[in-house]
């Protein structure tokens, strides 16, 4: 079945075709620990229209929640394919239904651990942007190892991004931002960058520029952002670019 590339064009996206299926993402092979490339697959091939447009942009959102960013942003960039990744099953299903109802053929949803997916599944140099908005702060010290931003994560981000690709980050949580900054500073500076085999600095940092799809005074327009704005919270944001 072909996917339409934007809403309002009469495409009928049936239930089930937005979520990535088990057939599309089979189990990891037994030898993955000794052969890390054994489990790699190209998620861009989950978008059937790419057969006619192999050079289409590809972006990943980590922690899509209810899909608000994707539903409002994807229609404005029909030339880009988006993979939304969400671990919470209820939210992932909710987002997938919103995508289907909006007739967004350039969005697929995947329920999995995004950091593990990047590490074991995604080939090098295929993503134009990785979005990370309002990730779980895991505030207790014993849970800091569960935070998304780690050296291992940044090594995988660097590998997965195309030259010139971006990691775009927004958070409201001051302690999480301090944690992120500690990592960003060394990956955008002289290191050390554990697990990184490329040049140093690994990334160049740039100011965050909001997408055209957001509302007045918003950065990305997610549900969390709108809730936190009502509570009067401030936000931190940045862009890490992989050098060309």
Q: Flag whether pLDDT at 128 surpasses 60.
A: yes
* Structure-token match 């052969």, residue found: 35
Per CATH, is 36-241 categorized as 2.40.170.20?
Answer: no
pLDDT score recorded for residue 120: 97
Report pLDDT digits (tens) over 160-180.
Answer: 999 999 999 999 999 999 999
| C-alpha–C-alpha distance, residues 91 and 7, integer Å | 21
Q: Are 208 and 238 in contact (CB under 8 A)?
A: yes
Do 82 and 95 touch, CB atoms closer than 8 A?
no
> Residue 11's pLDDT is what?
41
Alpha helices in the chain (DSSP H): 68-73, 89-101, 114-120, 151-160, 174-187, 223-230
Instruction: Give the catalytic positions in this structure.
Output: 136
When pLDDT is averaged across residues 182-199 and rounded to a whole number, the result is 96
Q: Where exactly are the structural domains of the chain? A: 36-241
Q: Is 36 helix (H, G, I), strand (E, B) or coil?
A: helix
Tens-place pLDDT, residues 20-50:
999 999 999 999 999 999 999 999 999 988 7
């Amino acid at each position: 079945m072909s996917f339409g590339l934007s809403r309002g064009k009469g495409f009928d996206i049936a239930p089930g075709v937005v979520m990535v299926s088990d057939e599309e993402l089979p189990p990891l092979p037994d030898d993955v620990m000794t052969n890390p490339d054994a489990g790699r697959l190209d998620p861009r091939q989950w978008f059937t229209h790419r057969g006619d447009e192999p050079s289409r942009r590809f972006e990943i959102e980590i922690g899509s929640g209810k899909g608000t960013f994707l539903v409002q942003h994807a229609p404005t960039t029909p030339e880009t394919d988006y993979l939304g990744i969400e671990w919470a099953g209820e939210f992932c299903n909710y987002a997938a239904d919103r995508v289907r109802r909006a007739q967004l053929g350039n969005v697929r949803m995947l329920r999995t651990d995004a950091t593990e997916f990047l590490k074991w599944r995604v080939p090098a140099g295929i993503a134009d942007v990785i979005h990370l908005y309002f990730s779980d702060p895991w505030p207790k010290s014993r849970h800091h190892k569960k935070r998304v931003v780690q050296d291992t994560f940044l090594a995988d981000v660097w590998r997965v991004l195309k030259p010139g690709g971006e990691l775009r980050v927004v958070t409201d949580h001051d302690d999480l931002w301090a944690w992120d900054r500690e990592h960003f500073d060394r990956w955008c500076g002289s290191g050390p960058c554990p697990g990184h085999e490329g040049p140093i600095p690994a990334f160049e940092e740039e100011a965050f520029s909001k997408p055209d799809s957001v509302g007045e005074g918003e950065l990305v327009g997610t549900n969390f952002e709108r809730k936190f704005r009502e509570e009067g919270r401030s936000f931190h944001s940045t862009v890490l670019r992989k050098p060309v």
